[in-house]
Amino acid sequence: MPSDHGVVLCDGCLARIRWAITAHGKRQAINADPDEEGNLAAYTDHTGTLRVRVLTTERDRLEGAEWQAMPHVATCPTPRPRLPRPTSRPGRRATHRPGSWRWAR
C-alpha cells in the first residue's frame, strides 16, 4: 500500500490523486488509492519518482512492488477540456499586400 506522500487534490473534483510519469515521459494523474479495476501498474523507481505502465495482454500481471491504479481521467466527474495540440508548423502571417510579392514584416 503506497503512503500519502505525493498525494494532491484534483482541481475539478477535489479527489485525491498522484502525478506519475508514463513510459513515454508524459505526466499522468492517477487515483491515489489502489484500484482492482485499474489498467495501470504503478511503482516508485530508484529515484523516488512514481511511474506507471499500462497493463497489456503481454504484461498483464503486477511485477515486484507495483500496485494496480486507475487513471484519474477515467473517474473524474469534471475533467478539464482538452486543449488543441500545438502544430509543428506555425501559420504564416496573413498580411500579404495585394500586388506585392513579399510577406509583410
C-alpha cell at 19: 502525478
Contacts with 44 (C-beta within 8 Å, 6 or more apart), sequence order: 2, 50, 51, 65
* Three-class DSSP category at 32: coil
Model pTM score: 0.71
Q: How far is CA 4 from CA 56, 72, 81, in A?
A: 27, 16, 28
Instruction: Tell me the per-residue pLDDT of 24-52, one tens digit each, with 9 for 90 and over.
Output: 999 999 999 999 999 999 999 999 999 99
Q: How far is CA 1 from CA 41, 43, 51, 68, 84, in A?
A: 13, 11, 15, 10, 37
Residue bearing the bigger pLDDT, 13 or 101? 13
